[in-house]
Amino acid sequence: MSDLTPSSPSTALFTDHYELTMLQAALAAGTAQRRSVFEVFGRRLPHGRRYGVVAGTGRILEMLRDFRFTGEEIDFLRSTGVVDAPTLDWLADYRFSGTIRGYAEGEVYFPGSPLLSVESSFAEGVVLETLILSALNYDTAVASAASRMSGAAGDRPCAEMGSRRTHEAAAVAAARAAVIAGFASTSNLEAGRRYGLRTIGTSAHSFTLLHDTERQAFAAQVDSLGKDTILLLDTYDVDTALDTAIEIAGPELGGVRLDSGDLGIQAHEVREKLDARGARNTKITVTSDLDEYAIAALQAAPVDAYGVGTRVVTGSGAPTASLVYKLVARQGAEGTWVSVEKASKSKASHGGIKQAVRSYDGSIATEESIGVPALPADFDGRALLVDLVVDGEIDDAFTGAEGVRRAQVRHAESVGELPRSAHRLQDGEPAIPTVYYSG
């Protein structure tokens, strides 16, 4: 059986066919080198959400480093006839030389404001659309859900445990996005290795079922992992399992996990029994298809930590952030900048080069003009866009483990600035309006 795994690390074909056919036509028309500005924004938030969280920016920069059309990519495009020979020659020399600015990763966002802008030739910018949107849309969806969950959890830590519910590459991205948005740890080891995330995990029901008795399983786990391990109580009967766990580990048992049933009632019962047996420091972790609503419903329960899987890696009902990548300005034949925008019903865009600023009274001001004019003199706020790539040079501070740490800080500070209404889980409008200042 032949090995079909590509040997090239290039990310250049993480794109859609039409990006390259547009490139071919623009090269032939002589318009491919026109300076252009593409903008990423969301027209709306998922139903009922008060805010979103930007994530995926660091991954985009990491993939941009490897966005090269090597011999393998060129051979594939030639053999399949996707584009013509002149276009292949252009792609073989591709290196992004433009500038990318955007929200700092971890920042909260609202509809209409530019989350990312790409300034380059049309040719250089158009081929990045799919790469940018695939990362931003998924990671932002996960981070937006994770932020609501970690907010509902308050001081109790959330662990991301959704690797088995999504694609293996998406599992790494989801773990990264969840930790940026307030989760304390992940079960995914590759995410831990790649981004310096704290990883956690003990055992599943299969470990208990492997042994002849639950007692043998618990004893094996405690003997190997120590008394501070977490024992899973609900393979058979929770009450019996709790008695067995305390008999084996004593009051020094680190924790127990509940994965089914009425978690609130069970947590109260287990806490009472642990305390009665002197295991007052034993922590209770709950899992089982949790989302922000289930976590909020457990606020009064004696729960110490939450493990969240399916709902966080699928955006808690909103698996994409529905962000779009649109051309908003380009230079004309004589070199002057021209504002461009879609006028389609329900899919209109807002043309012009923009600068986004968040005021301290809550609103987002988006300067909308080719010249990016000054905001009103009495405007009190901070700039939201930061330089990510300047003249083709990537700022590595936004990538890897350091990028995640910076994004965690940005998320905590940004969420802390929101009005209290933003944290409500009930349906409502975005917590902060977007206002355009045209020059």
- The string of pLDDT tens digits covering residues 143-198 is 999 999 999 999 999 999 999 999 999 999 999 999 999 999 999 999 999 999 99
Query: Does the structure show a pLDDT above 70 at 7?
Result: no
pLDDT band of residue 293 (cuts 50, 70, 90) is: very high
Give the global pTM. 0.94
Confidence of residue 32 (pLDDT cuts 50, 70, 90): very high
**Stretch 89-111: mean pLDDT, rounded?**
97
> Which two structure tokens, joined as six digits, stand for 252?
């020094």
Residue 80: Cβ within 10 Å count: 9
Q: Is the pLDDT of residue 58 over 50?
A: yes
pLDDT at 18 over 80: yes
Reported as a pLDDT band with limits 50, 70 and 90, residue 439 is: low
Nearest alpha carbon to residue 314 among 164, 108, 116, 193? 164
How far apart CA 131 and CA 65 sit, in angstroms, is 12
Per-residue pLDDT tens for 335-361? 889 999 877 776 767 888 888 999 887
Beta-bridge partner residues of 325: 40
Domains of the chain and CATH, by start: 17-127+322-438 (3.20.140.10), 152-315 (3.20.20.70)
HEC states along 240-295?
HHHHHHHHHHHHHCCEEEECCCCHHHHHHHHHHHHHHCCCCCCEEEECCCCCHHHH
* Helices and strands in the chain: count of H runs, count of E runs: 15, 19
Give the pLDDT score at 4. Answer: 38
**Sequence letter at residue 103:** Y
pLDDT tens digits, 33-54: 999 999 999 999 998 899 999 9
Q: Write out pLDDT tens, residues 107-145.
A: 999 999 999 999 999 999 999 999 999 999 999 999 999
Q: Residue 376: its pLDDT value, please?
A: 76
Predicted confidence at residue 375, as pLDDT, reads 75
Write down the pLDDT at residue 348.
Answer: 66
